[in-house]
Structure 1
Amino acid sequence: MPVFPGRRRLRASTLLTVLVLPGVLTGCGGSPGPATLTVLATSSLTEVFGEMGTAYHQEHPGVKLRFVFGDSPEMVDRLSDHTPGDVLVTADRASMDDAAEYLTGRRSIVTHDSLTIAVGPGNPRRIRSLYDLTRPGLRVAVGAGTVPVGRYTRQVFAKAGLSVRWNSEEIGARAVLDRIRSGEADAGIVYITDLRSAGVAASSVPIPADLNVTAAFPAATVRDSEHEAEADAFVSWLLAPAAQKLFHKYGFPSPAPPS
Structure 2
Amino acid sequence: MPDSPRRRRLRAAALLAALALPGLGAGCGGSSGPVTLTVLATSSLTEVFGEMGTAYHQENPGVRLRFVFGGSAEMTDRLSEHAPADVLVTADAASMKEVSADLAGRPRTVTHDTLTIAVGPGNPRRIRSLRDLRRPGLRVAVGAGSVPVGRYTRRVLANAGLTVRWTSEEISARAVLDRIRTGEADAGIVYITDLRSAGIAASSVAIPADLNVTAAFPAAVVGDSGHRDLAGAFVSWLLTPAAQKLFRKYGFPSPPADRG
Normalising by structure 2, we get a TM-score of 0.87
- 3-state secondary structure, aligned to 2:243: helix
2:81 and 2:168 mapped to 1: Cα distance? 28
Matched, 1:82 2:82: yes
**Which deviations, in whole Å up to 9, do the C-alpha atoms of 1:100-125 show, x marking residues without a partner?**
00001121100000000000000000
Deviation string, structure 1 residues 217-248 (Cα, Å, up to 9, x no partner): 00000001000000000000000000000000
Shift of 1:136: 1.0
Q: CA 1:125 to 1:257, structure 2 compared with 1: closer, same or farther past 3 Å?
A: farther
Deviation at 1:135, TM superposition (A): 1.0
The amino acid that maps onto 1:30 is G
Matched residue SS, 2:104 = strand
Q: Distance in 2 between matches of 1:130 and 1:246?
A: 31
Matched with 2:71 is: 71
Deviation by residue 1:137-188 (Cα, 9 ceiling, x = unmatched): 1110000001100000000000000000000001110110011011111100
Q: CA deviation at 1:33?
A: 2.4
* Corresponding residue number in structure 1 for 2:222: 222
Could you list the runs of 4 or more consecutive aligned residues of structure 1 that deviate by over 4 angstroms after TM superposition?
none
* 8 Å Cα contact 1:112/1:257 also seen in 2: no
* Alignment map for 1:174-185 (pairs within 5 Å): 174-185=174-185
Partners in 2 of 1:217 and 1:112 — Cα distance? 6
Which structure would you say has the larger Rg? 2
Cα distance in 2 for partners of 1:247, 1:56 equals 13
TM-score between both structures, scaled by the size of structure 1: 0.87
Distance across 2 between alignment mates of 1:68 and 1:257: 28
Provide the C-alpha distance between the structure 1 equivalents of 2:132 and 2:59, rounded to a whole number of angstroms: 48
- 1: CA distance between counterparts of 2:229 and 2:33? 16
CA 1:46–1:256 in 2, change beyond 3 Å: closer, same or farther? farther
Q: Is residue 110–residue 254 contact of structure 2 (8 Å, CA) maintained in 1? A: no
SS in 2 for 1:114: strand
For residues 231-242 of structure 1, what are the structure 2 equivalents within 5 Å? 231-242=231-242
Show structure 1 runs of 5+ residues with no match: 1-27
Aligned equivalents of 1:248 and 1:29: distance in 2? 41
Q: Deviations over 1:74-94 (max 9, x none)?
A: 111111111110000000000
What's the RMSD between the two structures over aligned residues? Answer: 1.2
Structure 2: how far apart are the matches of 1:226 and 1:143?
34
Partner of 2:129: 129
1:29-52 CA-to-partner distances (Å, cap 9, x unmatched) read 424222210000000000000000
- Whole-Å Cα distance in 2 between the matches of residues 226 and 210 of structure 1? 44
> Number of matched residues?
232
Q: Which residue of 2 aligns with 1:195?
A: 195
Query: What residue is the counterpart of 1:248 in the other structure?
Result: 248
